Amino acid sequence: MQTKPLIQKCGHVLRDCCAQFNAVHIDNLERKWIAISMMVIALLVGIITIDAFFHGVNPPGKVETIDSASLHLGKEFAEDNLGVDVNDKGEIIIRMVAGRYSFFPKHIDVPAETPLTFRWVSMDVLHGVHIPMTNMSTMIVPGYVAEITTTFPKPGEYPLLCNEYCGLGHNHMWSNISVIAKEDWQAPVKSPAKGEQQ
């Protein structure tokens, strides 16, 4: 395809559009409202951009599937494997299951000022999880693993709230996690999974 005629054609179309736009009478008040709406759009796009680049608020970057009906039979999300875990590289991985109407395990302790990778799955229907004042806000779609990395800047009790309507008990579906000072936190000692004992 020849690019020069295409560019010329686009130029003509653009000029036509501008000419038509200029021919339309726009009232001064209308002009002001157009400018205000453009500024609102620019402001919202700006907020999204700043959140994405500086606050780490992003859509999930990968798709990972899992069979929700057999989580307890699988290795990663079996009951003994849930909660806080430190992997071989020293990264903290937290595996959580959302189900009507709670997050499991019911309670965990995590360190402050440390990157934490949460891996969420649902055992039944669509849930969501939101931790106010952090970038933790995601849908937990049955059949998929939702992975989010976050850091809690200060020790304290943080609420975990379900933010997707999941049934009659939805508004009681919340839990909390204890964030403790980095120096006071100790990695949990995992007991060997069933079947691994000698």
Collect contacts of 190-194 with beta carbons under 8 A, ≥24 apart: 190/80, 190/85, 191/80, 193/78, 193/80, 193/81, 194/80
- Segment holding 161, helix H or strand E: strand 156-161
* 141 interacts with ligand CUA by CB under 6 A: no
CB of 98 to ligand CUA, least distance (A): 6
* 164 interacts with ligand CUA by CB under 6 A: yes
CB of 97 to ligand CUA, least distance (A): 12
Q: Which of 137, 135, 146 has its CA nearest to residue 53?
A: 135
φ and ψ at 95, to 5 degrees?
A: -100, 125
* 166 interacts with ligand CUA by CB under 6 A: yes
Q: Which residue's CB is nearer to ligand CUA, number 100 or number 150? A: 100
CA 113 remoteness from chain centre? 19
Q: Give the range of 19-27, 85-93, 159-167, 185-193 binding ligand CUA by CB under 6 A.
A: 159-167
CB of 32 to ligand CUA, least distance (A): 43
* 162 interacts with ligand CUA by CB under 6 A: yes
Alpha carbons 104 and 98: distance in angstroms, whole number: 6
Q: Which residue's CB is nearer to ligand CUA, number 119 or number 127? A: 127
Site size toward ligand CUA (CB under 6 A) is 7
Contact residues toward ligand CUA (CB under 6 A) are 127, 162, 164-166, 170, 173
